[in-house]
Amino acid sequence: MKIKNILISQPRPETEKSPYFDIEKKYKVKMDFRPFVQVEGISAKEFRKQKIDICEHTGVIFNSRTSVDHFFRICEELKIQPKDTWKYFCITEAIAHYLQKYVVYRKRKIFFANGNFDELLEQIKRFPDENLLLPLSDVHKQEIPSKLTKANIKYSKAILHKTVSADFSDVKKLEYDLIVFYSPAGVASLFQNFPDFVQGDICIGAFGLKTAEAVESHNLRLDLKAPTPEAPSITTAIDIFLSQKNK
C-alpha cells in the first residue's frame, strides 16, 4: 500500500524550507501537522507548593524556549522583577537570543552552548558560587539534573509546565497511512483520544528510543524509527521509508 496521507504529531514548521515540505513535494504526499500533546503552564498556586524562592537564585538554566516563556510567566504572576545580576545559561544560541523577548541581551550575563549540555556545564563550572534554577516540565529527562548534581552545582529543579494530551474530539477516525510520534506522551495520548484504536494497515514511526519503546509497549507495529546509523533524523527515516514504500 502506498503512503498518501501522513500525520506528523508536531506543530507545523514555521519556515517553508523545512525538510518535511521537501518530502511532501518529492513523494506527492499530504502531511498534516498536529501534536498529540500540548504544554500547559502550572499556576502560581501550584508553583508555591514546590517551596522554591526564585529570588534566592542567581541564575537560570534554559534547555528550551518553552522553559524561557514559562519562567518569565511565573515571575510575572508572582510579581518578581528579573534581576539585572542574574546569569542565564542556555543550551543553544537560538535560546540565548530568544531571551531578548524578556531581557536586555548582554554578553556578560548570557552564556550558551551548541546544543550539548556537557559543553554548557563547563561554562557553568566557571561560576562555582552561583545558585541556579532549572525550569523543567513535569515529564523530563534526568540527564541534566544528574550531571549538575555530579558536578556539585548548587541548583533547584522547578516544574513550571506540564505535558497534557491534546484534544482530538473533533476527529472521529484517524484516516492516515502513516503517523509519526515524537514522545511517549504522544503515544499515550493516542489511546486517550482513541481508546479503540486499531492499527491495521496504518504505519507508525517514532523518533527517539523511549518513543519507539512506548509504541511497542502498546502492541503497535513500529514501521520506521530514528535516529539510526542510516537515518540520524526522523525526516531522513521518512524519506527512506517512502522511497521503499512508494516505488
Q: How far apart are the first and last CA of the chain?
A: 10
Question: Is 154 found in the same domain as 44?
Answer: yes
Q: What angle do CA 137, 141, 142 make, to 5 degrees?
A: 115
| Nearest partner of 180 among 170, 190, 172, judged by Cα | 190
Query: What pLDDT is recorded for position 151?
Result: 96
* Helix 234-245 and helix 19-27, axial crossing angle in degrees, nearest 10: 0
Distance, in Å, from the CA atom of 10 to the CA atom of 33, rounded to the nearest integer, reads 6
- Mean pLDDT to the nearest integer, 182-208: 95
Residues 102 and 188 in one domain: no
Is-contact 206 180, C-beta < 8 A? yes
Tens of pLDDT along 62-72? 999 999 999 99
Instruction: Please check the confidence at residue 42 and state whether its pLDDT lies above 90.
Output: yes
Which triple of cell numbers denotes residue 56? 534566592
Q: Answer whether residue 14 shows pLDDT above 90.
A: no
CATH code where residue 232 lies: 3.40.50.10090
Residue 202 has pLDDT above 90, yes or no: yes
Does 52 share its domain with 133? yes
Provide the percentage of residues in the chain whose pLDDT is more than 90: 89
76-121 residue pLDDT tens: 999 999 999 999 999 999 999 999 999 988 777 999 999 899 999 9
- Cα–Cα distance for residue pair 228/185, rounded to 1 Å: 21
| Judgement on whether residues 138 and 226 belong to the same structural domain of the protein | no
Using one digit for the tens of pLDDT, what is the confidence trace for 208-221? 999 999 999 999 99
Give the confidence band of 123 by pLDDT, cuts at 50, 70, 90. Answer: very high
Question: Does 195 lie in the same domain as 155?
Answer: no
What is the strand order of the sheet 30-33 is part of?
A: 30-33, 5-8, 178-181, 203-207, 224-226
Domain that holds residue 17: 5-36+166-245
Instruction: Report pLDDT for 2.
Output: 92
Strand pairing category for 154-165 and 37-41 = antiparallel
Same domain, 150 and 60: yes
Q: Which of 112, 130, 163 is the last residue of a domain?
A: 163
Number of domains in the chain: 2
Last residue of a domain, one of 131, 163, 195: 163
pTM of the model: 0.72
pLDDT of residue 105: 80
| Together in a domain, 104 and 147 | yes
Mean pLDDT throughout 130-153? 93
Please give the residue that has the higher pLDDT: either 104 or 20.
Answer: 20
User: Among 145, 163, 181, where does a domain finish?
Assistant: 163
Residue-level pLDDT at 141: 78
